Amino acid sequence: MSEAGPSKKRKGEPEFELPWVEKYRPMYLDDVVGHTETVERLKIMAKDGNIPNLLISGLPGIGKTTSVHCLARTLLGPQLYKDAVLELNASDDRGIEVVRGKIKNFAQKKVTMPPGKHKIIILDEADSMTAGAQNALKRTMELYSDTTRFAFACNQSNKIIEAIQSRCAILRFGRLSNEQVLERLLHIVEAENVQCSDDGLSALIFSAEGDMRQAINNLQGTVSGFGFVNSSNVWKVVDSPHPVVVKSMLDACSKGEVTEACESLKQLWTKGYSAQDIISTMFRVTKTLEVPEALRLEYIKEIGFTHMRILEGITTYLQLAGCVARLCGIQVK
């Protein structure tokens, strides 16, 4: 019985198009956006040709895993990259059996490598691995250190055991700036011939909070759904409280107008937004309010306490209304 070959596209079938987040994923270190100092360190490693085990930590969607793939591609070249790189998502493959199975088998695998080169195992979401799996992995790292290097990408490095941290060079990725996100969005807008407005790009940047992956996904979602990227369409796709409504509520609070502020809050609540969505947007909008610094700090303090109560499970409308009432009562001399 012969093996089935790759399926061919039938006549009339639509062509498969990659998501933009994959289509415009950086291929080499020079293409990575932001993290200038850290990327320079990776370039030096690539130039020397010998890398240590790596532990890269930072927020989601800022290029941790992509940077490791770019490093591997630079070190090994396109052909070796296919055979000598294994990527696992540790949030799915997180148990000790994976370390004893997939990871150990790949580390033992014979791959013809140039002198000084190593196979690379990339573990994404490594902070989701169980303690038992991490302890087993520590031993595997020791046994196959001559042939294999490990790269851990995680959101919280403190969830990686000390024994693994001490075996790795630790790199920390910070949040991407609005300018860096805008630069990549404009590149995609030009390449895809997207029709957009300035307020649409601003909405994409505001909603992404430095997460490049989310910004690109929201851009494609807005184009697919509406064809034109403006503020109104972006917020329909993102489906989070509109910052203009939240700003009008906070402006009413700064004037002490409780009734008007509560009307804006009611408008958001009746649309079905959760208490956490509303309080998070209140915090982000407060940081941009044109009010005295002392008043802004008091607002952030009060919103922070309310956010804490909401995270503890008190997610009622009354909780948010109480926060709004307290904001209206804040008077800074």
* Digit-coded pLDDT (tens) for 299-326: 999 999 999 999 999 999 999 999 999 9
248 and 193 fall within a common domain: no
Q: Are 53 and 168 in contact (CB under 8 A)?
A: yes
Distance, CA of 34 to CA of 31 (rounded, Å): 9
158 and 261 fall within a common domain: no
160 and 39 fall within a common domain: yes
CB burial class (10 A; 0-12, 13-18, 19+) of residue 284?
A: middle
169 and 68 fall within a common domain: yes
Listed residues 173, 190, 213: the one ending a domain: 173
CATH code of the domain containing 81 = 3.40.50.300
Q: Is residue 5 included in any domain, yes or no?
A: no
Residue 218's pLDDT is 93
Domain hosting residue 103, numbered range: 20-173
CA of residue 288 relative to chain centroid, distance = 22
Q: Is residue 276 included in any domain, yes or no?
A: yes
Residue 2's pLDDT is 36
Residue 136's pLDDT is 83
124 and 265 fall within a common domain: no
- pLDDT tens by residue, the chain, 333 residues: 334 444 444 444 444 578 899 898 988 888 888 888 888 888 888 887 778 899 999 888 888 888 988 988 888 888 888 888 888 876 666 667 677 777 788 888 887 777 778 888 888 888 888 888 888 888 888 888 888 889 998 888 888 889 889 889 888 888 888 899 999 999 999 999 989 999 999 999 988 888 899 999 999 999 988 889 998 899 888 888 888 899 999 999 998 899 999 999 999 999 999 999 999 999 999 988 888 899 999 999 999 999 999 999 999 999 999 999 999 988 764
Q: Are 297 and 314 in contact (CB under 8 A)?
A: no
Q: Helices 243-254 and 293-311 meet at what angle, rounded to 10?
A: 120
Q: Is residue 76 included in any domain, yes or no?
A: yes
Q: Are 210 and 176 in contact (CB under 8 A)?
A: yes
258 and 292 fall within a common domain: yes
124 and 224 fall within a common domain: no
Structure tokens at 205: 């940047």
Residue 90's pLDDT is 61
Report the SS3 class of residue 159.
helix
Q: Is residue 6 included in any domain, yes or no?
A: no
CATH code of the domain containing 269 = 1.20.272.10
* Digit-coded pLDDT (tens) for 214-272: 999 999 999 988 889 998 899 888 888 888 899 999 999 998 899 999 999 999 999 99
Residue 16's pLDDT is 55
132 and 187 fall within a common domain: no
Residue 13's pLDDT is 43
DSSP string, 217-231: HHHHHHHHHHSEE-H
CA of residue 219 relative to chain centroid, distance = 15
Please state, rounded to an integer, the average pLDDT across all residues of the chain: 85
Q: Which amino acid is at 270?
A: T
100 and 47 fall within a common domain: yes
Q: How many domains does the chain have?
A: 3
Residue 209's pLDDT is 85
164 and 53 fall within a common domain: yes
pTM: 0.80
